[in-house]
C-alpha cells in the first residue's frame, strides 16, 4: 500500500473572476501524492497554496471562483467531473482536510462530540452507540485526556492545541486515504506545534494515509515532508525531494526563502554566527498585474534579458541522484 500513487493533480488552473479582471490564483500546477508519504507545499501568502488544496476538495466558491481546466485523478476517477453527491461521499470520508484556524473551524454551539459524530454518521452507517464509541476512540487517538468527559465540551472550553486535536479527530474519523493539512500549526505555540506535528507523523505511520501539508515554515517542511513543491504567484517554481531541495536549492526564490530564515546555527568552535539576514527585495507581484516573462524577475538577483521575454517552463534538471528535480528558471545557477 505504501508508495502507491493515490492522487494525481494535472495542470490545475483555478481563477477568480473579479471586477478588476481574472485572478489566476493557481496557474498550471501539477503534483502527485503517494500513500504513506507527505507532500509539502510551501510559499508566501497569496501564492495559491490554499486555493490548490481547496480545488482538490472542490470547495472553491463558484462564482467568483472557477477551476478552469485540470484533471484531478483519485483512484482512477476524475474528481472534477463527479456529481456533487458523489463528491460529498468522498469529501470528509476518503479525502479530508484540517484548517489553520481551529477557533473558527469548529461550530461554537455544538459539543465537540456532536461535531465528530456528525462526520461519522454522514459517511459510516453505524448505530447511535457505536457512533459515540467511535468518536471517543478518535479523541483518544489524537491524545485528548479523559475523552468520555471531553466529548460533552464545547469548543470554547478547550485550548487552541486541544481544538486542533479535535479537528484532527474529525478529519481522521472516517480513515481518510488523503489528509490535507492547511497550515495546521500556524495558530499554535511552538511547544504545542511540536506535539501536533509529532502526532500527525505517528498517525500517518499508523493508518498509512497520504498527507498534503501546506505551510510557510520551511522548518516544518524539513521535518515532515518527503517531497516539496515551492509555489510563487500561482506557479510551481521548484519541485523535488526534501533532501534535495534543502541541499541543492536551484530556484533563486527557494534560495531566497532559505536564506531569509534566522537560524540557530553554531559554527564548529561552538560560537554562534550572527550574520545579517539575506532578504528577497520587493514584494510578491499582484496577480492582476503580472510582469511579462518570469514572475519572479523583479525580485531576482539573477535576472537577465531572457527572463523578461518568456515565462520559463517547469523543466527537469538532468541526472540528479535524489530523483526528479524540476525548476522553473532559465538560468543555471
Partner 1 sequence: MQEALLTIKNLVKTFPIKGGILSKEIASVKAVSDVSLEIARGETLGLVGESGCGKSTLGKLILRLIEPTQGQIFFNGQDITHIKPEELRKLRRNMQIIFQDPYASLNPRMIVEDILMEPLQIHGLGKNKTEKRNRVFKLLDLVGLRRESISRYPHEFSGGQRQRICIARALAVEPDFIVCDEPVSALDVSIQAQIINLMQDLQKELSLTYLFIAHDLKVVEHISNRVAVMYLGKIVELTTSEKVYADPKHPYTKALLSAIPIPDPTYKKERVILRGDVPSPINPPSGCYFHPRCPIAKDNCSKDSPILRELTTPSNSHIASCHYA
Q: Which residues bind partner 1 (CB under 8 A)?
A: 44-45, 159-162, 189-195, 197-198, 216-223, 242-243, 246-247, 256-258, 260-264, 266, 270-272, 274, 276-281, 283
Q: Closer CB to partner 1, residue 162 or residue 210? A: 162
Closest contact distance (angstroms) between CB of 226 and partner 1 is 9
Q: Cell digits for 134?
A: 467511535
Q: Closer CB to partner 1, residue 82 or residue 199? A: 199
**Angle between helical axes of 160-172 and 112-123 (0-180°, round to 10):** 10
Closest contact distance (angstroms) between CB of 133 and partner 1 is 25
Closest contact distance (angstroms) between CB of 274 and partner 1 is 7
Closest contact distance (angstroms) between CB of 145 and partner 1 is 8
Q: Closer CB to partner 1, residue 18 or residue 263? A: 263
- Contacts from 60-63 at CB under 8 Å and sequence distance 24+? 60/14, 63/17
Strands 38-42 and 235-241: unpaired
Strands 21-34 and 5-18: antiparallel
Q: Closer CB to partner 1, residue 32 or residue 248? A: 248
Rounded CA gap, 88 and 261, in Å? Answer: 40
Q: Closer CB to partner 1, residue 127 or residue 191? A: 191
Closest contact distance (angstroms) between CB of 315 and partner 1 is 24
Closest contact distance (angstroms) between CB of 190 and partner 1 is 5
Q: Closer CB to partner 1, residue 128 or residue 276? A: 276
Identify whether the C-beta of residue 218 lies closer than 8 Å to the C-beta of residue 257. Answer: yes
Where are the strands (E) in the chain, listed by range? 5-18, 21-34, 38-42, 65-74, 77-78, 95-98, 178-182, 210-215, 227-232, 235-241, 315-316, 325-327
Closest contact distance (angstroms) between CB of 85 and partner 1 is 39
Where are the strands (E) in 183-261, listed by range? 210-215, 227-232, 235-241
Q: Closer CB to partner 1, residue 125 or residue 275? A: 275
Closest contact distance (angstroms) between CB of 277 and partner 1 is 4
Identify whether the C-beta of residue 229 lies closer than 8 Å to the C-beta of residue 41. Answer: yes
Identify whether the C-beta of residue 308 lies closer than 8 Å to the C-beta of residue 292. Answer: yes
Identify whether the C-beta of residue 131 lies closer than 8 Å to the C-beta of residue 120. Answer: yes
Neighbours of 87 (CB within 10 A): 16
Q: Closer CB to partner 1, residue 86 or residue 189? A: 189
Instruction: Give 189-222 as a DSSP string.
Output: -HHHHHHHHHHHHHHHHHH--EEEEEES-HHHHH
Amino acid at each position: 500500500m505504501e508508495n502507491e500513487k493515490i492522487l494525481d493533480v494535472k495542470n490545475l488552473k483555478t481563477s477568480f473572476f473579479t471586477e478588476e479582471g481574472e485572478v489566476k490564483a493557481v496557474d498550471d500546477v501539477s503534483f502527485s501524492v503517494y500513500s504513506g508519504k507527505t507532500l509539502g507545499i510551501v510559499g508566501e501568502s497569496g501564492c495559491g497554496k490554499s486555493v490548490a488544496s481547496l480545488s482538490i476538495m472542490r470547495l472553491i466558491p463558484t462564482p467568483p471562483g472557477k477551476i478552469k481546466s485540470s484533471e484531478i485523478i483519485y483512484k482512477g476517477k476524475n474528481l472534477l467531473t463527479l456529481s456533487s453527491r458523489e463528491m460529498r461521499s468522498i469529501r470528509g470520508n476518503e479525502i479530508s482536510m484540517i484548517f489553520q484556524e481551529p477557533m473558527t473551524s469548529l461550530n461554537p454551539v455544538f459539543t465537540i462530540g456532536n461535531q465528530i459524530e456528525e462526520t461519522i454518521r454522514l459517511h459510516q452507517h453505524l448505530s447511535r452507540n457505536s457512533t459515540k464509541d467511535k468518536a471517543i476512540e478518535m479523541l483518544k487517538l489524537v491524545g485528548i485526556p479523559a475523552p468520555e468527559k471531553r466529548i460533552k465540551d464545547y469548543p470554547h472550553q478547550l485550548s487552541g492545541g486541544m481544538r486542533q486535536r479535535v479537528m484532527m479527530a474529525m478529519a481522521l474519523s472516517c480513515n481518510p486515504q488523503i489528509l490535507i493539512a492547511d497550515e495546521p500549526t500556524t495558530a499554535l505555540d511552538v511547544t504545542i506545534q511540536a506535539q501536533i506535528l509529532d502526532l500527525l507523523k505517528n498517525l500517518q505511520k499508523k493508518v498509512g494515509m497520504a498527507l498534503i501539508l501546506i505551510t510557510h515554515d520551511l522548518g516544518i517542511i524539513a521535518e515532515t515532508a518527503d517531497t516539496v513543491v515551492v509555489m510563487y504567484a500561482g506557479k510551481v517554481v521548484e519541485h523535488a525531494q526534501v533532501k534535495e531541495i534543502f541541499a541543492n536549492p536551484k530556484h533563486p526564490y527557494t534560495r531566497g526563502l532559505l536564506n531569509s530564515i534566522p537560524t540557530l546555527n553554531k559554527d564548529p568552535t561552538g560560537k554562534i554566527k550572527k550574520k545579517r539576514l539575506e532578504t528577497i527585495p520587493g514584494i510578491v507581484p499582484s496577480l492582476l498585474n503580472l510582469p511579462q516573462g518570469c514572475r519572479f524577475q523583479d525580485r531576482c538577483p539573477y535576472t537577465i534579458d531572457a527572463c523578461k521575454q518568456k515565462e520559463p517552463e517547469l523543466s527537469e534538471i538532468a541526472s540528479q541522484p535524489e530523483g526528479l528535480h524540476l525548476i522553473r528558471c532559465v538560468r543555471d545557477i
